[in-house]
């Protein structure tokens, strides 16, 4: 069985949805499961709904209307006025409105997951209906009935045993199946999410449970490049990457492949293909067991808008295991993703991602026990397979605040000019 994943850029408008139909007709529709993300920038739009729900409720109807208009404008191009997809979509917006009107929970992460899921539900319903209209028979299903997780909203952990049993017994491998990425459900049937960009991970979960022959992630780039073309000029396509190298790149923040996607694929040696939905005839990149990197060239990864933190004891005592362990527990508690660590006898430096906006609370709790200095708005550059020329190319971008070098990797924290 083949697993395909189409991200938001591949379903951003009516022509993009028609393109998916063309790709499936060429690639084959039997024994295929398709994972689809929310359309275009709709995840961002639904995040705006969540924030508006809490802070500016009078603006909420307008935010919802914009989302509804976006989807229905796409539908007008794809369907006749009386097509049943309009009823299906109206029901989904009705369910969203019901939740917003009836919810009493103040837990932000819980509310986030109950709202954000509608992006994927809408996109998959529309794509499935269009495929059916054009003669491509398919089976739409709600992924929340298949992937089961704990209740760690916005970053849920998969119950692999239960999920594996359900997927193995319920997925019809002979059909073309259409389902959602990113979302799942806990044991009380509340929606959970697998972390931002988690649709790739969804594809990996299904591939592992179904012993798939391959996973293909369809992107708007030709494959995995050695650098982000939005940041670097003259990027190069990586034709072959080993699992180990891809996991390293994902760990450091390469955005093409979700960090959690590769682990289940590696366990069963299921190849991952990254191909372009704009040029589907091209082979793209293959991630599999074997040669580390083809071609073997330096690779650049950038994580922007980081916080560089330096922590030391108030009495200038050594930073040793007990206080470092305590700091890491607090980093975990406040969901601060650590992307670089460096320590000396009396200080401990970290570069962290503050995506949950909890750094201020972390700082306020620790400042009574430690001396804490920090700098916002720094960028973390990672170079895999670096050389002197590539390091010089990065350091000329701004003031180097911290550098860490290992055999294959250099990381540089910059305050850019």
Q: What is the CATH number of the domain that holds 390?
A: 3.30.2130.10
Mean pLDDT of 111-129: 98
Residue 230 marked as a ligand binder = yes
pLDDT at 56: 84
Q: Residue 122 domain-assigned?
A: yes
Looking at the domain assignment, is residue 49 inside a domain? yes
What are the pLDDT digits (tens) for 275-313? 999 999 999 999 999 888 999 999 999 999 999 999 998
| Structural domain contains residue 384 | yes
- Choose one of 185, 212, 239: the last residue of a domain: 212
pLDDT at 256: 66
Is the predicted pLDDT of residue 67 greater than 80, yes or no? Answer: yes
Number of domains in the chain: 2
Q: What is the pLDDT of residue 400?
A: 94
196 vs 77, residue with greater confidence: 77
Does 354 fall in a domain? yes
Judge whether residue 196 has pLDDT over 80.
Answer: no
> Is 266 a member of any domain?
no
List, in sequence order, the alpha helices (H) in 84-159: 85-102, 108-116, 118-133
Is residue 145 helix, strand or coil? helix
CATH number, position 180: 3.40.1160.10
Instruction: Report whether 8 belongs to an annotated binding site.
Output: yes
pTM over 0.75: yes
Q: Please state, as a whole number, how many other Cβ atoms lie within 10 Å of the Cβ of residue 199.
A: 27
Residues 332-371: tens digit of each pLDDT? 999 999 999 998 888 889 999 998 899 999 999 999 999 9
Residues 313 and 195 in one domain: no
pLDDT tens-digit series, residues 146-161 = 999 999 999 999 999 9
* 343 and 198 together in one domain: no
Question: How much of the chain, in percent, has pLDDT values that exceed 70?
Answer: 99
Contacts of 169 (CB under 8 A, 6+ apart): none
Instruction: State what percent of residues in the chain have pLDDT above 90.
Output: 87
Q: Counting runs of H as helices and runs of E as strands, what totals does the chain give? A: 13, 17
43 is in an annotated binding site: yes
- Position 197 pLDDT exceeds 80: no
Q: Among 212, 227, 257, which residue terminates a domain? A: 212
Q: Is 198 annotated as a binding residue?
A: no
Residues 206, 316, single domain; the answer is no
Known binder of ligand: residue 94? no
Looking at the structure, tell me whether residues 199 and 303 fall in a common domain.
no
- Residue numbers of the domain that contains 391: 299-416
**End residue of a domain, out of 183, 212, 241:** 212
Using a 10 angstrom Cβ sphere, with 0-12 exposed, 13-18 middle and 19 or more buried, the burial of residue 42 is buried
Task: Give, as one character, the DSSP assignment of residue 1.
Answer: -
Any domain includes 63: yes
- Please write down the HEC assignment for all residues of 102-121: HCCCCCHHHHHHHHHCHHHH
Model confidence over 11-26: pLDDT tens digits? Answer: 999 999 999 999 999 9
Q: Is residue 379 part of a domain?
A: yes
Note whether residue 147 is domain-resident: yes
């Amino acid at each position: 069985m083949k697993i395909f994943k189409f991200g938001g850029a591949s379903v951003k408008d009516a022509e993009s949805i028609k393109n998916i139909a063309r790709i499936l007709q060429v690639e084959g529709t039997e024994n295929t499961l398709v994972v689809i993300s929310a359309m275009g920038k709709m995840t961002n739009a639904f995040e705006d709904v969540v924030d508006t729900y809490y802070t500016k409720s009078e603006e909420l109807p307008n935010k919802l209307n914009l989302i509804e208009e976006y989807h229905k404008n796409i539908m007008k191009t794809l369907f006749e006025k009386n097509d049943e997809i309009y009823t299906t979509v109206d029901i989904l917006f009705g369910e969203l409105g019901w939740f917003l009107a009836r919810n009493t929970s103040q837990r932000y992460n819980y509310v986030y997951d109950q709202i954000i899921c509608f992006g994927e539900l809408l996109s998959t319903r529309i794509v499935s209906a269009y495929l059916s209209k054009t003669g491509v028979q398919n089976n739409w299903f709600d992924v929340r009935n298949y992937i089961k997780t704990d209740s760690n909203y916005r970053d849920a952990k998969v119950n692999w045993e239960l999920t594996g049993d359900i997927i193995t017994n319920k997925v019809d491998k002979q059909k073309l199946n259409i389902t959602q990425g990113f979302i799942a459900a806990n044991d009380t049937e509340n929606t959970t999410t697998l972390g931002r960009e988690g649709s790739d991970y969804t594809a990996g979960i299904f591939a592992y449970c179904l012993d798939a022959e391959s996973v293909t992630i369809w992107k708007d780039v030709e494959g995995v490049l050695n650098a982000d073309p939005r940041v670097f000029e003259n990027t190069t396509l990586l034709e072959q990457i080993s699992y180990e190298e891809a996991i390293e790149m994902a760990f450091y923040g390469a955005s093409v492949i979700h960090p959690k996607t590769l682990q289940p694929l590696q366990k069963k040696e299921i190849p991952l293909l990254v191909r372009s939905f704009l040029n589907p005839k091209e082979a793209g990149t293959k991630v599999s067991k074997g040669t580390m990197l083809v071609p073997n060239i330096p690779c650049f990864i950038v994580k922007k808008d980081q916080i560089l933190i330096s922590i030391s004891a108030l009495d200038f005592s050594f930073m040793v295991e007990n206080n470092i362990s305590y700091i890491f527990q607090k980093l975990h508690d406040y969901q601060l993703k650590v992307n670089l660590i460096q320590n000396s006898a009396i200080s401990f430096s970290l570069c962290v991602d503050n995506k949950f906006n909890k750094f201020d609370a972390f700082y306020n709790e620790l400042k009574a026990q430690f001396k804490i200095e920090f700098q916002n708005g720094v960028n973390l550059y990672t170079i895999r397979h670096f050389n002197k020329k590539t390091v010089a190319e990065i350091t000329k971008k701004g003031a180097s605040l911290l550098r860490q070098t290992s055999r294959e990797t250099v990381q540089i924290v910059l305050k850019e000019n």
